A and B are shown apart, each in its own frame.
Chain A
Amino acid sequence: MEEKKKILEVRNVSTSYTRKSPLGKTKIQHVLHDVSFDLYEGEALGLVGESGSGKTTLARAILGFLPKYEGTITHYSEHPQVVFQDPYTALNPARSVAWILEEPLKILKKYDAAERRKRIISMLERVGLDESYLERKPSQLSGGQRQRVSIAAALLMEPRFIVADEPVSALDVTIQAQILKLLAEMKAQFGLSYLFISHDMNVVYQLCDRVIVMRKGIVVEEGEIDQIFENPKHPYTKELVEASV
Chain B
Amino acid sequence: MKKLFAKHNNWFFKVGLILTACMVGIVIIGQFWTPYDPNAMNGAVKGQGPSLQHLMGTDYFGRDIFSRILEGAGATLLIAFFVVLLGAGLGTLIGALTGYFGGVIDEILMRICDALTAFPSVLLALIVLAILGPGRLNVIGVLALVFIPSFARIVRAEFARIKKLNYVSLAKLQGVGHFRIMLKHILPNTLPVLLPAISIGFNNAVLAEASMSFLGVGVSASDVSLGRMLSDSQNYILRGMPWYAVFVGLTIALLILGFSLLGEGLQQED
CA distance A79 to B189 in the complex (A): 27
| B residues less than 8 Å from A82 (CB atoms) | 169-170, 173
Cβ–Cβ < 8 Å partners of A80 in chain B:
173
Is there a chain B Cβ closer than 8 Å to A107's Cβ?
yes
Interface string of B169-189 (1 = CB under 8 A from A): 111011110000000110011
For B170, list chain A residues within 8 Å (CB). Answer: 82, 84, 90, 153
Q: Is B191 an interface residue (CB 8 A)?
A: yes
Q: How far apart are B158's CB and chain A's nearest CB, in angstroms?
A: 12
* B25 CB → nearest A CB, Å: 30
Residues of B within 8 A of A79 (CB): 173
Interface size on B, residues (CB 8 A): 15
Provide the bound-state CA to CA distance between A93 and B187, in Å: 12
Within 8 A of B (CB), among A40-79: 63-65, 79
Give A191-214 interface residues, CB cut-off 8 Å to B: none
Interface membership of A94, Cβ < 8 A: yes
Q: How far is the CA of A65 from the CA of B173 in the complex (A)?
A: 9
Provide the residues of chain A in CB contact with B167, threshold 8 Å.
Answer: 89-92, 100
Q: CB-CB < 8 A to A103: which residues of B?
A: 171, 174, 176, 184-185
Is A86 positioned at the interface, with any CB of B under 8 Å from its CB?
A: yes
> Chain B nearest CB: distance from A18 CB in Å?
20
* Across-interface contacts of A5 in B (CB, < 8 A): none
B166 lies within 8 A of chain A by Cβ = yes
Q: Does B165 contact A (CB under 8 A)?
A: yes
**Contact in complex: B173, A81 (CB < 8 Å):** yes
In the bound complex, what is the Cα–Cα distance between A79 and B173 (angstroms)? 8
- The closest CB in chain B to the CB of A83 belongs to B170
Which chain B residues border A100 with CB–CB below 8 Å? 167
Min C-beta distance of A70 to chain B, whole Å = 23
For residue B184, which residues in chain A have a CB less than 8 angstroms away from its CB?
Answer: 103
Residue on B nearest A91 in the bound complex, by CB? B167
Taking a contact as CB atoms under 8 Å apart, the answer to whether A104 and B166 are in contact is no
Most buried by A among B165, B171, B189: B165
A144 to B175, CA, bound (A): 26
Chain A contact-residue range equals 20 to 34
| A107–B166 touching, CB < 8 Å | no
Is A93 in contact with B173, judged by CB distance below 8 angstroms?
A: no
Tell me which of A81, A94, A104, A157 contacts B188 (CB under 8 A).
A94
- Interface assignment of A95: CB less than 8 Å from any CB of chain B: yes
A166 to chain B minimum Cβ distance, whole angstroms, is 12
**Closest chain A residue, CB of each to CB of B189:** A94
Residues of chain A lying within 8 A (CB to CB) of residue B165: 89
Q: Given contacts A92-B185, A92-B189, A93-B189, are A104 and B169 in contact (CB under 8 A)?
A: no
**Distance to closest chain B CB from A235 (angstroms):** 34
CA of A30 to CA of B116 in the docked complex: distance in angstroms? 42
B169 lies within 8 A of A107 (CB): no
Query: Within the complex, what minimum Cβ distance (angstroms) separates B3 from chain A?
Result: 10
Residues of chain B lying within 8 A (CB to CB) of residue A84 = 166, 169-170
A residues less than 8 Å from B166 (CB atoms): 84, 86, 89-90
Q: Which residue of B lies closest to A138 (CB)?
A: B167
Given A92-B189, A94-B188, A94-B191, check contact A65 B174 (CB 8 Å).
no
Q: Shortest beta-carbon distance, A158 to chain B, in Å? A: 12
Task: Find chain A residues with CB under 8 A from B174 CB.
Answer: 81, 103-104, 107, 153, 157
* Most chain A CB atoms below 10 A, which of B165, B167, B176, B185: B167
Known: A90-B167, A153-B170. A107 touches B175 (CB 8 A): yes
Convert B8-50 into 0s and 1s, putting 1 for each residue whose CB lies closer than 8 angstroms to a CB of A.
0000000000000000000000000000000000000000000
- Which single residue of chain A is at the shortest CB-CB distance from B180? A107
The distance in angstroms between the C-alpha atoms of A43 and B167, with both chains bound, is 26
CB proximity of A174 to chain B, nearest CB, Å: 24
Bound form: Cα–Cα A79–B166 in Å: 17
Chain A to chain B contacts (Cβ below 8 Å), 14 pairs: A63-B169, A79-B173, A82-B169, A82-B170, A84-B166, A90-B166, A92-B167, A94-B188, A95-B188, A103-B184, A104-B174, A107-B175, A107-B176, A157-B174
Q: Which residues of A contact B (CB under 8 A)?
A: 63-65, 79-82, 84, 86, 89-95, 100, 103-104, 107-108, 153, 157
Report which B residues bind A (CB closer than 8 A). 165-167, 169-171, 173-176, 184-185, 188-189, 191
Q: A103-B171, A107-B176 are in contact. List 14 more A-B contacts (CB 8 A).
A: A64-B173, A65-B169, A80-B173, A82-B169, A84-B169, A89-B167, A91-B167, A92-B171, A92-B185, A94-B188, A103-B174, A107-B175, A153-B174, A157-B174
The 6 lowest CB-CB distance pairs between A and B, nearest first, are A94-B188, A104-B174, A84-B166, A89-B166, A90-B166, A92-B167
